[in-house]
Amino acid sequence: MHTPPNWLVSTILAAATALAASPAGHAGEREARIALAEAWIEAQRVHKDVPGAAVAIVQGDTLVWSRGFGMADRETGPTVTADTAFRVCSISKLFTGIAVMDLVEEGQLDLDTPLSAYLPWFDLDEPESLRDQVTLRSILSHVSGLPEELDLPYYIEIDFPDFATVQQEVPTLSLLQPPFTRHTYSNLGFVLASAAVAAADETDFATAIDTRILFPLGMTATAADLSLLSADVDTATGYSVRGDTGRTAFDAYPTRDYAAAGGFLSSANDLAKLARWIFRLRQDGGEEILSEPTLRNMMRVHWAAPDLGGSARGLAFGFYNLGGQTFVGHGGYCPGYRSLMIVEPDREIAVIVLMNVNDASPYTWASAIYNLVAPGLGDTAPANDDLTAGLETYAGIYDRIGMPERVAVAAAGETLLAIDLFSDNPAGSLWRLEQQGPDAFRSQEIGGRRFDVRFDRNADGLPIRYWRYSNYLIRVPEGNIGLNPMVGVTV
C-alpha cells in the first residue's frame, strides 16, 4: 500500500481542519468563501513549509475576517493568532510617511524644503546645489537619488546601524542620479525622514510614532522595534529559506535607527486598524491623525515612469498590480519575514498577509484571497439555516493522495462551492454546484464547461466520496486521516 509523504498528509489534514473550523456550515456566500480561503491558505502554508502566517480582510471600517495559521515558533510555540506580532519590514514606511505628513500639516515640516534644513549634519559627496534637491517629497516617493542602503554589511551580519553610524556614513555617499530623474528605492531615505520627524517633534522617532499614530488608533501589538513591543504580545520567530535540512530560526535582532525603513512589528489585527482608519478618513473626511485631503494626496500617483515597469509611487504608498487589479499599500521583505498590506480604495477592501519566511509570496496569497473572498463581501444577509442544513454535511476536503486532485467544498445557501487546493488562483478554479437530487449536483456552466458531481455516504450518513465522472476523491475528516484508503484503512 502506498504511503504518502508526511508533508502531504499534513497539508491535507491542516486544510481539512481549517475548513471544518470555519463558519461555513451556517453560511451565506461570504462565509463559504472565507472557509475555502482558510482551507487554501493552510494547504499552501504546509506545502511550502511556512511555519506561521496571519491574514486579515477589511471592508470599509469593518474587520471582516482575520486568522492565524501555524506556529509562531516551531520550538516553543505558541500558535499564531491574528494578534501575533510579525516583523512587517517595509510596511514600516507607511508609519514613517504618515508621521511626516502629520508634521507637514502642523507646519513643522515641509515637503519641498531641503532636507539639510532639518538635519544640519546631512551632507553628501556632492555640490550643495545638488544636495539641497533632496527633500522629503523626493524621499517619500523614492526619487531622491539616494542609494538604497549605507555601504555596510548589516543584512549579512543582521546587525543594523545606530544613529551615530548613519550620521558618520551619510556624508561619504554620492547620489545615484539627480533627484526627480529616476525611481531609486531607498531604505536610507526613510531613515533620514525619521530623523527629520524626531528633530521636528523634538523627541525620538519611536515616541513620535506612538503618540501620533499607534495610541490614537489603539494599535497595541505594534512597535517601531522589538525592544519597544509590550511583553504581553506574542511574536513570530523568523526563519531562513529552506535548505537540505529544513529551516533554521533567526535570533531576535534589533533594527535600531533602521526601524523607520523596515523594523516595525505589527499584527494582522493591528494593521487592520490602520486599514480601517484609511477607509474611515477617506469616507468621512474630517481630522483623524491626518486630514482627508492629505491622506488622498499620499495615495495618489506622485511618480510613474518607464523605469518603474508600469508601477507607480505615491508618498510612502506604493501601487501594485495583482492579477490585473490595482492596489495601494506596501509590501515588506526583511530577514526571516515577508509581509503585504494592500487596499483597493474604490471598493474599500484591504488584504493583509504576514509570514515568517522569505521564500513564500504574500503577493500570491493576497491576490488569491482577494479574488476568492471579495465577490462574497456584498452578501451580508443573515444565514438561513433551513437552506444550509442539508448541505453543510458535504463541507470538507476531498483528496486523491499522490495526484493533483484535492478539492475543498463549502456550503453557500442553496449551493455548494468547490475549489482546487493546488491552484495558485483558487478563484479561477471555483465551481458552484447546484443540487439535482439526493447527493447529486451539477456545476453551473463556466466557459462552456459543465459537469455532474455525486457523493457517496458511509453507514453513518457522512459523505465520504466526491465523484466527478468516474473518478472519485476520498473525504478527509478533521483530524482523521484513517478514512483515506490510500494510507491503509478502508472505508
At 437 the pLDDT is 94
Residue 456 grid cell: 457517496
The three state secondary structure string of 328-344 is EEEEEEECCEEEEEEEE
What pLDDT score was predicted for residue 269?
A: 98
Same domain, 338 and 396: no
- pTM beyond 0.95: the answer is no
Q: Which cell numbers in the block locate residue 128? A: 550643495
Do 412 and 439 fall into the same domain? yes
Q: What is the pLDDT of residues 434-479, one digit of tens each?
A: 999 999 999 997 777 899 999 999 999 999 999 998 999 999 866 4
Terminus-to-terminus CA distance in the chain, angstroms? 15
Domain assignment of residue 245, yes or no: yes
Statement to judge: residues 344 and 452 lie in one domain: no
Short-list 217, 222, 233, CA closest to 273: 217
Which of 326, 359, 392 is where one domain is finished? Answer: 359
Q: What angle do CA 417, 419, 424 make, to 5 degrees?
A: 150
Q: What is the CATH number of the domain that holds 109?
A: 3.40.710.10
CB atoms within 10 A of CB 114: 16
In a shared domain, residues 76 and 176? yes
Q: Residue 31 and residue 25: Cα distance in Å, rounded?
A: 9
Residue 296 forms part of a structural domain: yes
Residues 285, 351: one domain? yes
What value, to the nearest 5°, has the Cα angle with vertex 356 and ends 37 and 322? 50
Query: Phi and psi dihedrals of 145, rounded to 5?
Result: 85, -5
Domain termination residue (choose one: 294, 324, 359) = 359
The residue behind cell 503577493 is 363
> 359, 394, 429 — which closes off a domain?
359
- Whether residues 463 and 324 share a domain: the answer is no
Residues 307, 266 share a domain: yes
Interatomic CA distance for residues 142 and 189, integer angstroms = 8
CA distance 15 to 17: 5
Predicted confidence at residue 8, as pLDDT, reads 44
Nearby residues of 177 by Cβ (< 8 Å), 6 or more positions away = 145, 184
Sorted by sequence, the CB contacts under 8 Å of residue 294 that are 6+ apart come out as 101, 104, 105
How far apart are alpha carbons 299 and 235 in whole angstroms? Answer: 30
Q: Is the pLDDT of residue 117 over 50?
A: yes
Percent of the chain with pLDDT over 70: 88
151 is a domain residue: yes
pLDDT tens track for 160-177 = 999 999 999 999 999 999
Distance of alpha carbon 355 from alpha carbon 54, whole angstroms = 7
Query: Are 149 and 21 found together in one domain?
Result: no
Look at residue 490 in the predicted model and tell me its pLDDT: 32
Query: Which pLDDT score, from 0 to 100, does residue 487 have?
Result: 33
Give the model's pLDDT for residue 74.
96
Range of 6's domain?
1-48+383-491
Average pLDDT, the chain: 89
391 and 313 co-located in one domain: no
Confidence class of residue 307 from pLDDT cuts 50, 70 and 90?
low
The answer as to whether 378 is a domain residue is no
Mean pLDDT of 362-385: 82
Instruction: Label each residue of the chain as H, E or C.
Output: CCCCCHHHHHHHHHHHHHHHCCCHHHCCHHHHHHHHHHHHHHHHHHHCCCCEEEEEEEECCEEEEEEEEEECCCCCCCECCCCCEEECHHHHHHHHHHHHHHHHHCCCCCCCCEHHHCCCCCCCCCCHHHHCCCEHHHHHCCCCCCCCCCCCCHHHHCCCCCHHHHHHHHHHCCCCCCCCCCCCCCHHHHHHHHHHHHHHHCCCHHHHHHHHHHHHHCCCCCECCHHHCCCCCCECCCECCCECCECCECCCCCCHHHHHHHCCEECHHHHHHHHHHHHHHHHHCCEECEEHHHHHHHCCCCECCHHHCCCEECCCCEEEEECCEEEEEEEEEECCEEEEEEEECCCCEEEEEEECCCCCCHHHHHHHHHHHHHHHCCCCCCCCHHHHCCCHHHCEEEEECCCCEEEEEEEECCEEEEEECCCCCHHHHCEEEEEEECCEEEECCECCECCEEEEEECCCCCEEEEEECCEEEEEECCCCHHHCHHHCCCC
In a domain, 367, yes or no: no
Read off the pLDDT of each residue in 104-127 and give the average, rounded to a whole number.
Answer: 97
373 found inside a domain: no
Q: Are residues 138 and 182 in the same domain?
A: yes
Number of compact structural domains in the chain: 2
Express each pLDDT in 43-55 by its tens digit.
999 889 999 999 9
Rounded CA gap, 65 and 93, in Å? 25
Look-up of cell digits 498590506:
341
**Same domain (yes/no): 28, 102:** no
Cell 511574536 belongs to 235
User: Within a domain: residue 375?
Assistant: no
19 and 83 both lie in a single domain: no
Domain presence at residue 377? no
Q: At what angle do helices 29-47 and 6-20 cross, to 10 degrees?
A: 160
Bridge pairing between strands 405-412 and 396-400: antiparallel
**pLDDT given for residue 16 in this prediction:** 53
| Assigned C-alpha cell, 458 | 458511509
Which positions ≥6 away from 147 have C-beta within 8 Å?
A: 173, 176, 184, 186, 188
